Every structure is written in structure tokens, then in C-alpha cells.
Amino acid sequence: MEGQLVALASDTFKIALMIAAPMLLGGLLAGLLISVFQATTQINEMTLSFVPKILVVATIMILAMPWMMNVMIDFTIRTFQMIPELPSNG
């Protein structure tokens, strides 16, 4: 039983990282490009760095939503299929 719980926790962390990675990487790349642009032009406007990152992350989220939902649905189905295998306390 402990092995199943450890495997479930490990899968949970892996899936959370998989789902968050595209948005985090997109925000990271957008921030890097904006920082290079700001350093080159010496423009230090806070909204110039914030708004494009939000737009990039939102766009990636919208585009990746079908894939993210499929990953979550598969994980949920696997988790529910594990329930009958777990020992009961009563």
C-alpha cells in the first residue's frame, strides 16, 4: 500500500510539472527577450515587462488546454481505477 501511495505522489508531482512547464518556459523566454530589449534600449517601464509575459502565458495556456485536460483526465481515471485495489480499514 505504501508503494502505491509513493507512486501516486510521484505521478502527481510529475504531472503538475508537465502541465506547468509550457507556461513557465514561455514566461521565462518572454521575460528574457523583454529584458534583453530593455537593456538594449534602456527603457525601464514595468508594464513593458509585465503585460507581454501575461499575454504569452495566457496564449500558451489557451493553446495547451486540450493537451492539459487530456493529461489530467488520464491521471484521474488511473487514480479512480486504483481505488478498488486499496485495502479497506473495516
pLDDT in tens, 24-66: 999 999 999 999 998 898 888 878 888 999 999 999 999 999 9
C-alpha cell at 70: 487530456
Q: Is residue 88 part of a domain?
A: no
- Portion of the chain with pLDDT greater than 90, in percent: 63
Q: Is residue 81 part of a domain?
A: no
Q: To which residue does cell 521565462 refer?
A: 28
For residue 85, the model assigns a pLDDT of: 80
Alpha-carbon 52 to chain mean position:
19
Mean pLDDT, to the nearest integer, of 5-11? 90
Q: Is residue 15 part of a domain?
A: yes
- Gyration radius from the chain CA atoms: 20
Enter the DSSP assignment of 45.
Answer: -
Q: Number of folded domains in the chain?
A: 1
Give the integer Cα–Cα distance in Å for 43 and 33.
13
